Amino acid sequence: MSGERTPTGRKRPRKRGRFLPYILLSPLVLFIGALALYPTILTTVQAFFTVNPMDPPTRFSGLANFRALFHNSFVRQSAANTALYIVVGVGLSTLFGLGIALVLQRRSRWRGVVLALVVLPWALPAVVESVIWGWIYDPTFGVLNSVLKSLGLINSDHVWIGIGRIVSIVLIELVQVWQITPLAALLILAALQSIPQELYEAARVDGAGRWEMFRRVTLPLVRPGLAVAMVESLILSLNVFDQVYVLNGFAPGGASIMMQTYQISFNNLNFGQGYALSLLATFATMLLSLLILAVVYRRVEF
């Protein structure tokens, strides 16, 4: 940038601008440094300490917190639950998102309205959505039971959440899927719209049918969008809390890792273990994100 000349030959000011970037960036760096980086460092360091108001003082304890977590059956259970949350969350939101994006690819009169409604679940607070879905799932008066009974699929009122562990988790995650599918749909739609039309034309000239075009052109080129959507869904479903808090409470059957961290830290006041669990989950997130990116993301050139 130094010494460049504009088309009219004027020299761009150099000395005045040198500190400008840092001035512009200083609020950002301050915020991220103090309220994102510093807390993360704190978490990392204090995971190796005993931090517990019921057991003062704060002192170094090495791997004690981690060992306690591995031996805690509820923690292990919440990890298994969260694995299922992730599979359902990422799987369904990506599938539905892809479907919605494909349907909405074509510009039409109605697309604006449909898009508006599609995005609506993403804009609403997860807690509010959980309360609404909780009423739908209600064993005695919920519309789910009502509809299934009138269709003859079930005989008596089913208790959906609380008895069957897998069913509970799937149904709680469904509420989150409802919320995050719009995001996946938009991300995939963006990728779809960046596929040049010529490629479809070329494929049609070669005699490819609709399914062939989808397999040979769409799928490969949409992979970056799919990857980003999947990573977003992964982060959100690994973090799932609001829906679990409202619909599952403190029961171990549906507890997620986030819920367990909350209980350990704020009910049991064992902050040291809470830090340790947070750290483990952070690693898991990063590992899984990298895995998804490695497997799914692939820029293809034709």
Partner 1 sequence: MRGRSGARRVSRALLITLILVWSAFPIYWALNTSFTTLNGAQSVPAHFVPSPFTAQNYKTLLNSSGGVGNQFWRSFLNATIESGLATVLTVVIALFAAYAFARLEFRGKRIILVAVLATLLLPVYATLIPLYRIMSSVHLVNTYPGIILVYTSGFLPLAIWIMYNYFASVPRELEEAAFVDGATPVVALWRVMIPVSLPGIAATAIIVFLMGWAQFIFPLVLSSDLTTQPVTVVVAALYGQRIVPFTLLNAVGVLAAALPGVIALVLNRYIVQGVMAGSIK
Partner 2 sequence: MPVLLVVVLLAALVVLAAACGSSTSTSSSPSAAATTSSGVLPSPTAGSSITVVYHYPAPPKSVLDQFTAQTGVKVSWVEVGWDNLQTKIATAATSNTYFADLTDVDWSKVGQYYKTKWFMPLNPYFDAAALKADMPQIDTFASNGQQLALPFDSSFTVTTLNTKIAKAAGVTGTPANLTDYTNALKQIKAKGAVPNPLDIPFAAAEGLSTYWYQLTAAYGGQVLDASYAPQFTSPSSAGYKALQWMVDAYKSGLVPKANIGMADYQGFTSEMAPGRVASVFSDYSGSVGSIYDVPSSSKVTGQVQYIPTPGVSGPAPNLSNPDGVGIPVTAKNVAGALAFIKWFTDTQQQAIWAGLNGSSDVISGFPLPARVSSLQLLAQGNKVSGASELMTLLGSSRAEFPGPGAPPWYSQFSNAVYTNIHQAAAGAETVQQAVTNIATEVNQLKASQ
Stretch that binds partner 2, among 6-14, 49-57, 100-108, 211-219 (CB under 8 A): 49-57
Question: Taking CB within 5 to 8 Å according to partner kind, which of partner 1, partner 2, none is near residue 209?
Answer: none
Stretch that binds partner 1, among 56-64, 164-172, 195-203, 261-269 (CB under 8 A): 261-269
User: According to CB under 8 A, which residues from 51 to 80 bind partner 1?
Assistant: none
Pick from 149, 165, 216, 223: which binds partner 1 (CB under 8 A)?
A: 149
In order, the DSSP letters of 15-78 are: TTTSSHHHHHHHHHHHHHIIIIIHHHHHHHHHTTEE--TTS-S-EE-TTHHHHHHHH-HHHHHH
Pick from 94, 168, 261, 263: which binds partner 1 (CB under 8 A)?
A: 261
| Number of alpha carbons in the 13 Å side-chain half-sphere of residue 39 | 7
Q: What sections of the chain are H helices per DSSP?
A: 20-32, 38-46, 64-71, 73-103, 111-123, 126-137, 143-150, 165-193, 197-205, 210-213, 219-238, 242-248, 257-262, 271-296
CB of 71 to partner 2, least distance (A): 10
**How many chain residues are in contact with partner 1, going by CB under 8 A?**
104
User: Rounded CA gap, 216 and 269, in Å?
Assistant: 55
Q: Does 154 bind partner 1 (CB under 8 A)?
A: no
Q: In this complex, which beta carbon is closest to partner 1, that of residue 182 or of residue 203? A: 182
Question: Taking CB within 5 to 8 Å according to partner kind, which of partner 2, partner 1, none is near residue 58?
Answer: partner 2
x/- letters, 132..151, toward partner 2 (CB under 8 A): ------xxx-----------
- Work out the number of other CB atoms within 10 angstroms of the CB of residue 166: 12
User: Rounded CA gap, 301 and 285, in Å?
Assistant: 30
Q: In this complex, which beta carbon is closest to partner 2, that of residue 113 or of residue 127? A: 127
Indicate the DSSP class of residue 254.
G
Pick from 61, 66, 74, 199: which binds partner 2 (CB under 8 A)?
A: 74
User: Rounded CA gap, 73 and 252, in Å?
Assistant: 10
User: According to CB under 8 A, which residues from 168 to 187 bind partner 2?
Assistant: none
Q: Does 54 bind partner 2 (CB under 8 A)?
A: yes
Alpha carbon separation from 299 to 55, 184, 190, 231, 302 (Å, rounded): 53, 19, 15, 16, 10
Pick from 65, 242, 254, 263: which binds partner 1 (CB under 8 A)?
A: 242
Q: Does 265 bind partner 1 (CB under 8 A)?
A: yes
Q: Does 33 bind partner 2 (CB under 8 A)?
A: yes
Q: Does 37 bind partner 2 (CB under 8 A)?
A: yes
CA terminus-to-terminus distance, the chain:
35
The tokens for 8 are 């009219």
Contact residues toward partner 2 (CB under 8 A) are 29, 33, 37-38, 41-42, 45-46, 49, 51-60, 73-74, 138-140, 157, 159, 161-163, 165, 249-253, 263, 266-269, 271
